[in-house]
Structure 1
Amino acid sequence: MGLERAARSLTRAGALCVIFAGTPCMAAAQDSVMASGPLMHAMPAHSATVLAVLVGLTAFATILSLLYLRERSGWNRRELALQGALVALQGADDRAELLLNADSQVIIAWAGRGEPTIEGDPSFALDGTHLGAVAQAHSASRRILAFSTWLLQPDATVLEAEIETLCRRGTGFRRTLRTQSGRYVEAHGQAVSGRALLRLRETTGEHRALIEAKASIDAAADEILALQGLLDAIPQPVWHRDHSGALAFVNTAYVSAVEGGSREAVLRAGVELLDRSARERVAREETGLGGASQALRLSAVVAGARRILDVSESTAEGGRVGIAVDVTDLESVKADHQRQMAAHVRTLDRLPTAVAMFDQGQRLIFHNTAYQKLWGLEPAFLDGRPLDGEILDRLRVMRKLPEQADFRSWKAEVLGAYRAVEATEGPWYLPDGRTLNVIADPNPQGGLTYLFQDVSENLMLESRYSAAMKEQGETLDTLKEPVALFGADGRLRLANQAFRAVWRVNESSVQEHPRIDAVIAACRTLSPDPEPWMAIRGIVTGLSETRSGLSCRLEILDGSVLDCTAQPLPAGATLLTFIDVTASVNVERALTEKNEALERAAQLRDTFVHHVSYELRSPLTNIIGFTELLGDETVGALNARQREYADHIRGSSSALLAIINDILDLASIDAHSLALQRETVDVRSTIEAAVRGVEDRLKESNIALDLDVPGNVGSFPADAKRVRQILFNLLSNAVGFSRAGQRVKVEVRRTSDELVLKVFDQGRGIPPDVIERVFDRFESHTLGTKHRGVGLGLSIVRSFVELHGGRVSIESTLGAGTCVTCVFPLEMPEGNRNAAE
């Protein structure tokens, strides 16, 4: 240290020398030497130089000495100041260490990103371990930073997060931590001069007691909150009363029950769940039982509905606590159970089967009316709950039990059913000839239930059934018609002798009950057509509950014909019956051939009439033409008789032409060659044109005509010529069947989709047996009038109306008249439209 200081002094001295060499002081010194007299002049030039150097060195040394002395004084003063500061720092360090070691604490400092420094004794936080050696102290310093090794895990996690925030942001904190050994440590973190300091100190004395008391209070508060949450989770209303009887606490269910809105509002208003009389009754019950809890069944309004509650309230520390359990559903179930039990008792009393129930002690606890009637025991005896063995003994005395050589063993066997695991069943043959099927069924809770079924009638019916089945089989064997019975499983159950003979099935095969497929395979050798057999198989094997019967015809290879009928029977069975219809089929074939011949003859007749009508039409037209020429007297004048004859000829010819035209129209309709000429037909003008055709007949017969045709009836699409022909025929019939002075009426109505045309007359009417045939061809009836036609008018009317897509109906009352109604569609159906086109 001294050498370094000397070197630094010399360096500074050399610098000063250099500086001084160029200053005016150095120049003045040189001048004074040069001016020192003859000595200087006498000295040689180099001596002067040496002298100048010596003078310079002397001056330098002097100045250097002065500077050294001044620096040495400053150094001494600084050394003394540093020694005083060092002594002060040592004292402060001692005092800080004394203060630090006064408590069990440790201070951890972080400066930047380096390792933290730890001061103090970290052993207080390490469960009292005495580390001793320096290596152990260093290990403890490292271990104290592993907070999770000596603090509780939640506290360690929170402390690490707060230290991270302190180092990053300088945010201080103060927290009380708990070690894994149960001791408390106070942690205080703060930022000082750019460092993060953490002070860990063990709490002692009153502070520790205060922390422990606070922890106990917090734990108690948590327990209270948990208890309150538990009480709120209970669905039954719970309450606590103080010493004065006022509500101090209610749970959420209580608030909902009284519809109080909130717990605070209920407690503030003192809203009670029970009325005053119920609360007084609960208080009396509690006082009478010495404060013990006893539930009372009370009625109260819960959430606006009347409910049944089991209320219990008992004395507790600080008052009384109570709870109300809603037993409305339980009461309802109990009432339902009682009703069901009563219904079961009533049902069992009505059963013909005798029922008796015994408990674990073999005592009678229930019996129905059939049981009492079966054995004829006194009601008083049964109501006394006798033992099962006592009942058996009494029945033996009354000679109502089966006769037994060793009654004691038989009785022990019967009573052994109490120890059985499963129900036992067996017959009892009573001395009076009855047979009982006795079922002894052990009860799950102990005891036994007896069922006594009188099967005497069943056995008798079974015997009768067997005899009936035998008789039925013999009866079926006497039938000439083949009969077969199939069961629900599709197997042949019964086949009579005729069936076996027709289908050549031996009796042994029938006894094996073959399936329907095997039977069909055997029968198809004689009747190979598969279609009817598949239908029969579907009926026999069908599983549908709505099976229907089947009728089919089977042709045998020998030329005979059988009609088969498959009739479904109850329980899925099917009965097959076969009838020989060979003779009927032969007659039917003959009739069919004859009918076909008649149809061909009718067709030839229609063809003949059609051709004859055409052949008659031409000469008839000539006759009408020449008659009109004669009537017009174009070729010469006629006398009155000739004119009358000409009129008769013309009228008869016109009538004959109309008949021929009708025949031709019917023939065209039958041949589907008549086409309608569709046009827009004005209804009123068409009716007027048809009326003009019968005006002469109306005048001759003195018959009035009424037309009821609305002005807005309009028009409709139709064949105008055929509509006029329809109206003409209807008016002709109406005039022909009317008497002088009567009226004929034509009425027309229009709906949204139809045109309805009606023709009324006031004639004698048509009898019901005749009205069904009036539309048939060549059906002519005078009905007491002079009118006589060929019977084509109404037939033509119906044909033309139906050709238009309409319909015709007739209503008639004897003595009142007849109404014929024709309905035309306003739009022609598609099929009629194509025919018209």
Structure 2
Amino acid sequence: MTTLLAIALVFVAFLVAFAVLLFIGLFDRRPSGGIRQVSVGERGAITFVFENESLLDATTSARDLLTSAPHRGTDWARLSILLEPRFPGLEAWIFELADLGAMERVSNDGTSLLRAEWHDGLARITLTSTGVDDTEIGPDKYAVAALNRELDTLRAATDRTPFPIWQEDASGVITWCNRAYLDLADSMEEGGQSYKWPPTRLFAGPTAEDSSDAESRRERMALTPTGEETRHWFEVETRLNGDGQICTAIPADDLVKAEVSRTEFVTTLSKTFASLPIGLAIFSRSRELAMFNPALLDLTTLPVDFLVSKPSLAAFLDRLREMQMMPEPKDYKSWRQRISDLVDAARNGTYEESWTLPGGQTYRVTGRPHPDGAVAFLFEDISAEIGLARRYRAEIETAQATLDALPSAIAVFSTSGVLTLSNSHYAGLWVPEDGSDPSTMPIYEAVELWREAALPSAVWDQIKGAVGHAGPRETVETGISLKDGRSLICRVVPLPRGFTLIEFAQVTAGESRDENDGFARFPMPSRSVVGVGN
């Protein structure tokens, strides 16, 4: 009996607790359910229910209003775009709804009331009329306000655009334009200002009726305002828009000036290249001939039509080889490898070679890199230079052979005492003990070499002082005796430009010279004249 009573008490307590929980649940659901859904009585009003920024429910009028908003962003962002013109600062205002629970706000024109409620993460937004000057009913006034605001924004943006924008119908009549176009049209009028509508069509391009199927078109046009002589250039771009077209005209004066300057610069370069005696061939990044000058025709004798056809570098060199305008390779394989090496060397700016042609000419070919991977080759005829160098070398060799054929030892010193020329007998007569080359010794070292090999004499200081003497000089000679018993005649001969020739000749039978003979008559330099070795 006691057990049954205990069970009954527990069951009764459970029922009471369940009833309390059920009552609390029903009490708590009432506001949540009321906020989550739009009631039947609100169907004619403008009411939205949002969870975060997503729309959960809305009345028919509210959905019609939201349909007129731009289709971008979340549901709340679209509604904010519509309400912002009549409720400025809506985003900042609605941010406090979660803390306050309920809020109301009157529109800036006083005709609408916005009521916002918050419960369990749901927001109910209701728009009602205040009855003040309520000439527009329903959601249209909010859509119209948003459209008006967007129109004001677009009008302000286009009027502040610094270049002309306009719209034409199919026949080319202007149906709309911005302030920049009107200002430009005024500058084209005689009186400076025009009040007619539609304004004058300034840019006489094809109309929408004349245009092809292309969606857009761009061309450059120029206008000369009244009272000015300078033409103003514009990049006019046209895009089809329904039956008409929308046009823009961007000023291009700076661009035109830059292009004119570039053209003049290229013309100047072309004239300069045309007058150069050096052949020029510039190959593009794809190794096609992009530019050449007339000198290249003269030097290579290549046909004009071949060069104009923009041959490749390999074809260009092959044609030079066929016309014997470059050295003949030993075999074709090495020839192709040489072309590859030539291009690589020219790209690095290191290619330079002398081509000796079968016809006897000699060309200096130089490769230089250019921007964007281009390569320039310069062909210079150095036949005259090579011929002159060869003749000069032959003359030097002949003069040296002539000196070597003389029986005397000859040495020529410059004004600074440098030994510039000597013969083989000189090197054989004066042999340094250290084995050095006497033909490289300046005057002061040579005099010491001579002094060591000869008997003591004051002649050597006189000879050293005579070299480099700037005053008038005469040919003098004297006799010297070597330590090995040989006797020599030393002859000092002045040469042009201050050079001095010193000759050492063997004394023949019946010929003798005193060591002071001749030098007593030679005008020695004063202290103001600096002698090499002093």
* Normalised TM-score (structure 2): 0.47
As a proportion of its length, which structure holds more helix? 1
Structure number with the bigger relative contact order (C-alpha 8 A, sep ≥ 6) is 2
Instruction: Work out which of the two has the higher radius of gyration on C-alpha atoms and give 1 or 2.
Output: 1
